Structure formats: C-alpha cells, structure tokens
Amino acid sequence: MPAARSFVELSAPQVAQHLRPDSVLVLPVGAIEQHGPHLPLSTDLLIAQSLAEAVVAERGDELDLWLLPPLAYTKSNEHAWAPGTVWLSPATLLAVLDDLGRSLATTPSTRLVFLNGHGGNSALLQVACRELRLAHGLRTFLMHPGMPPDQGGTSPAAELGMGVHAGTDETSVVMHLRPDLVDLTLAERWVPEHLADFRYVRFGGRVAFGWTSDEFGPSGVIGDPTAATTEHGKHLWEGMVTAAGEALEEVRRFAV
C-alpha cells in the first residue's frame, strides 16, 4: 500500500483490493487567482492541497482516507479582472465535477469529500454534492480548511469580521506553509468598513450579494494582511489539521 495513501499510486487491481465502500476519497479543490500583490496565485490550491496531504498522512490509516490529485482550476471569475487568474465557467466546473464523480463511482468507495480552499467555489460544490449523489450514488461531502467569513465564518476583529480574501488569516497560513511566497512589504489593508453597520447585507450576513474583488480596493484584497504573522499561521494550521481530522472521522461513519 502506498505510504502516502495516494489514490493515483495504486494500480488498477489494487483499487479493487484496497478500497472498500466506507473508504473516503479526499479531493483538494483550490483555485488559481489573484491574492493581492503579497500572495501567490496558488494560495487556495496550496492551502487545500497541503491540508489534504497533512490529514491523510496523520489519520489516513485509521480512517481509510485516500488522497486524490487536486483540482486547481475552478470558479474564480470574481477575480477575472486580474492578470494571472485562470478560471472555469460555472457550467464547465459542474460538468468536470460530474465527470469526476462518474469515474470515481466505478471504484468500491462510495464516499467523496471536496476539501475546498476557495470560497468562490462553495455554492457550486454544494450543488455538485447533491447532483453526484443523485446521478452516481456517491455519498458526497463539502468541507473547508475553515468556514469562509463570507459564509458565516469568522475573521479577526480588526477586519470587522469581513476578511474574506488575502487578509490576516489567509496570509498568516501561507507564511507558515511557504514563507518564501509571501512579500509583506507589499501588503495593504482593504477592509469594507462601510459595510460594518449593515446588519444583513454584508460579508457573512443573512443577505448575500454578488461582487468582484476589485470593487473593494484596487489590489483585490478584502481584509488586512498587514497584521499577519507566522506564529498566527502556525496556530491556525494546527487547528485546521485537527478539525479536518475530526470532520473526516464523522464523514467515515456518517449514515442517513
């Protein structure tokens, strides 16, 4: 058995030999998109893939987890204004996810987890979870490294709870994982303070709204990366790995 529990390192006969109905396939889902001048285009992919690798390494044998190759190109058109952003249309991404689900449904495993590092994918991935369940019989799950602030998650108080893109937490995690890819000398604070008094229509509020990242500042940042630290990133990362393991434990024994 591959030490890293890598699905693609199995041979075809080994898929039938090692996978069971309760085996959990973990698919990291990232994005290639602008993250301001201080972070790399691969930020979401880096975090999702690194977390999937870490949790599979830590708890894969116990929970029968199998790591799939990451899906890098996804729905990033809210950042399409920025050079370097590479994105699929919503229809294309749903079609790709259906093709992947159809293929994976031929294996003995019936459990597929999307470990998603990009908040802009979340709505479509929720749709895909239901569609793959209906079309291919898979038990499908969507989880994040941390709940995105624009979907009710939290961000530091100084960001007024609206650090949704390239802000303090995300920058800190990348500083922990790949400090060579971060240039804090270029970081700038861009927090939508004009939304702070809105009770419903705000990031993470009850009323969602369509947006593009350049509407909140010219750099495409929505948050405060200037407050990021490696120490904070390490603390966040350790919590993310623990929480991901606990979530996958529940995925492993989930039944309806």
Asked whether the predicted pLDDT for residue 202 surpasses 60, the reply is yes
Starting at the edge strand found earlier in the chain, the sheet holding 139-143 runs 65-67, 24-29, 111-116, 139-143
Model pLDDT, residue 147: 82
Q: How confident is the model at residue 150 (pLDDT cuts 50, 70, 90)?
A: confident
Asked whether the predicted pLDDT for residue 2 surpasses 70, the reply is no
Model pLDDT, residue 154: 82
Report the alpha-carbon distance of residue 201 to residue 131 in Å, rounded: 29
Model pLDDT, residue 252: 96
Q: What percent of the chain has pLDDT over 70?
A: 99
226 token code pair: 């200037």
Question: Any idea what DSSP says for residue 166?
Answer: S
Asked whether the predicted pLDDT for residue 151 surpasses 90, the reply is no
Average pLDDT for residues 230-247, to the nearest whole number?
A: 98
Asked whether the predicted pLDDT for residue 234 surpasses 90, the reply is yes
Model pLDDT, residue 12: 96
pLDDT digits (tens, 9 = 90+) for 22-81: 999 999 999 999 999 999 999 999 999 999 999 999 999 999 999 999 999 999 999 999
**Domain 7-253 indexed as CATH 3.40.50.10310:** yes
Q: How confident is the model at residue 1 (pLDDT cuts 50, 70, 90)?
A: low
Q: What residue segments make up the domains of the chain, in order of their start? A: 7-253
Report the alpha-carbon distance of residue 89 to residue 76 in Å, rounded: 8
Q: How confident is the model at residue 184 (pLDDT cuts 50, 70, 90)?
A: very high
Asked whether the predicted pLDDT for residue 114 surpasses 70, the reply is yes
CA distances from 199 to 77, 178, 195, 212 (A): 27, 37, 9, 21
Model pLDDT, residue 153: 83
Mean confidence (pLDDT) of the chain: 96
Asked whether the predicted pLDDT for residue 196 surpasses 60, the reply is yes
